[in-house]
Amino acid sequence: MTTTASLIGLYVYPLKSARGIALERARTVATGLEWDRQWMLVNTQGTFLSQRTHPQLAHFVPEITAEALIIRAPGRLPLEVPLRADGRPGGERLAVRVHRDPCVGIDQGHAAAQWVSEALGEPLRLVRVPPDPARTADPEYAGPTAAPMGFADGFPLLVCNEASLADLNTRLPEPIPMDRFRPNLVLSGLAAWAEDRIDSLNLGEMTLRLVKPCTRCTIPSVDQRTGMRALDPAPVLREFRFDKTLRGVTFGENAIIVKGQGHEVRRGSPCQVTLTP
């Protein structure tokens, strides 16, 4: 069964767990959308930081220019991390970890480390995805074709449905915005929770396959503007969105790119949706 939806939201998160950037257009690359989760903060053990433990990361506001990654935070001068002209990150290769995945990060230098350490009050390093990322999405869900990732939690892309949020908000004491769920793509024109049945999305030259419901951690409880803990949707989601197999509440669908690397997607574009019976 096929139907049509619209792409009404397009987001990237250059610095893992910092604030997202809403885009009008984005280019697809091997690891998902260009610039998405290409940098992250790690502690002295090489373990990544996220809003699960550091909700104040929502105050970090990234910007990508032709010359640099710029990070702004309240009360501090902006940090500018230069981008090399050839696009390949330079620096020492560090052993780092995203959840249970050991991987490699390219250290972004002492000035960047000092800035992020002072901003968060502990010794940290800023690292970037290497040009040869070795992490791939779980083949149990992604299938036999490797789906490379940057520093995303588990899959290259997250797709959410506007109608599902609207339905959830009717059940909450007060509505919450979509940015709490940190999607890459937001669809409209579908029934609530129709994303559970989506097999594939075609957006122009790009085809995505939706491979696994996204189990949610505590980050949706963080207000992405204030960095403070706020209304937590998890208890309400648990009432009707608990997946016994995955042992968690779900909202949104993880996706991989089947074809279309190097092509551009635009907000407002129609997309063809293939649904399972």
d(Cα 76, Cα 94) in Å, to the nearest integer?
27
Is pLDDT at 100 greater than 70 in this prediction?
A: yes
pTM value is 0.95
Q: For the ranges 29-38, 130-139, 232-241, 264-273, which has the lowest average pLDDT?
A: 130-139
Sign of the dihedral through C-alpha 1, 257, 237, 186? negative
What pLDDT is recorded for position 87? 55
Q: How does pLDDT run across 174-230, given as a tens digit for each residue?
A: 999 999 999 999 999 999 999 999 999 999 999 999 999 999 999 999 999 999 999
Mean pLDDT to the nearest integer, 232-237: 97
Sign of the dihedral through C-alpha 230, 235, 237, 242? positive
CA 221 to chain centre: 16
Q: List 62's β-bridge partners, or say none.
A: 71
Q: How confident is the model at residue 133 (pLDDT cuts 50, 70, 90)?
A: confident
- Count of all residues that appear for the chain in the document: 277
Would strands 101-107 and 93-98 be described as parallel, antiparallel, or unpaired?
Answer: antiparallel
What pLDDT is recorded for position 145? 81
d(Cα 272, Cα 254) in Å, to the nearest integer?
17
Is pLDDT at 32 greater than 60 in this prediction?
A: yes
Is pLDDT at 104 greater than 60 in this prediction?
A: yes
DSSP 3-state assignment of 117? helix
What kind of architecture, by CATH, is found in domain 2-275?
Beta Barrel (2.40)
Read off the tokens for 261. Answer: 């690397």
Is pLDDT at 249 greater than 80 in this prediction?
A: yes
Mean pLDDT to the nearest integer, 83-89: 67
Rg (CA), the chain: 18
Q: How does pLDDT run across 157-174, given as a tens digit for each residue?
A: 999 999 999 999 999 999
Q: How confident is the model at residue 86 (pLDDT cuts 50, 70, 90)?
A: low
Q: What is the secondary structure of 33-61 as a DSSP string?
A: ETTTT-EEEE-TTSBBP-TTT-GGGGG-E
Q: How confident is the model at residue 88 (pLDDT cuts 50, 70, 90)?
A: low
What pLDDT is recorded for position 91? 87
**DSSP state, residue 136:** B
Q: How far is CA 156 from CA 86, 99, 212, in A?
A: 24, 15, 12
Is pLDDT at 8 greater than 80 in this prediction?
A: yes
Q: Can you give the residue ranges of every domain in the chain?
A: 2-275
What pLDDT is recorded for position 89? 66
Task: Locate all alpha helices (DSSP H) within the chain, ordered by sequence.
Answer: 110-120, 139-142, 162-171, 234-240
What pLDDT is recorded for position 116? 98
d(Cα 175, Cα 9) in Å, to the nearest integer?
18
